[in-house]
Chains A and B, each alone.
Chain A
Amino acid sequence: MDLSYTAEEADFRARLREWLRKTLPSLPPKPSPDDWPARRAYDLGWQRTLYDAGYADVHWDASPTMRLIFLEETEKAGAPYVGANFVGLLHAGPTIAAEGTDGQRARWLPPILRGDEVWCQGFSEPDAGSDLAALRTRAWRDGDDYVVNGSKIWTSHAEVADWCELLVRTDPDAPKHRGITWLALPMDAPGITVRPLRTLAGSAEFAEVFLDEVRVPVANRVGDENDGWRVTMVTLSFERGTAFVGEVVACRRVLRELAAEARKNGRWDDPALRRWLGRLNAEFRALWRLTQWNVSAAETGGGVPGVAGSVFKLRYSHARQELYDAAADVLGPEALDLDRPWVPDRLSSLSYTIAAGTSQIQRNIVAERILGLPKGR
Chain B
Amino acid sequence: MTFWQDPYAAAVEWLRNLLIGWGLTVEAAQLILYLAGGIVLAGGSLALVIFLIWAERKIIGRVQDRLGPNRVGPWGIFQTFADILKIFTKEYITPNGVDRVPYNLAPVLAVAAVIMIWAVVPFTVTLYGADLSVGLIYVMAVGAIGEMGIVMAGWGSNNKFALLGAFRAVAQMVSYEIPMVIALLIPVMMAGSLSLGAITASQAVWNILIAPLAALIFFITSVAEVGRAPFDLVEAESELVAGFNIEYSGLKFGFFFVGDFLHAFTIAMLFTVFFLGGWRGPFVDQVPILGAVYFFIKTSLVYLVNILMRAALPRFRIDQMMDFNWKYLTPLSLSVLVVTALADKLTLGLSAWVRIPVFLGLNGLLFLAASVMVNRRAINRPRAEVVSRPRPLARPETAVQPETNGGVS
Bound pair: A and B?
no
Residue numbers of B with Cβ under 8 A of A are none
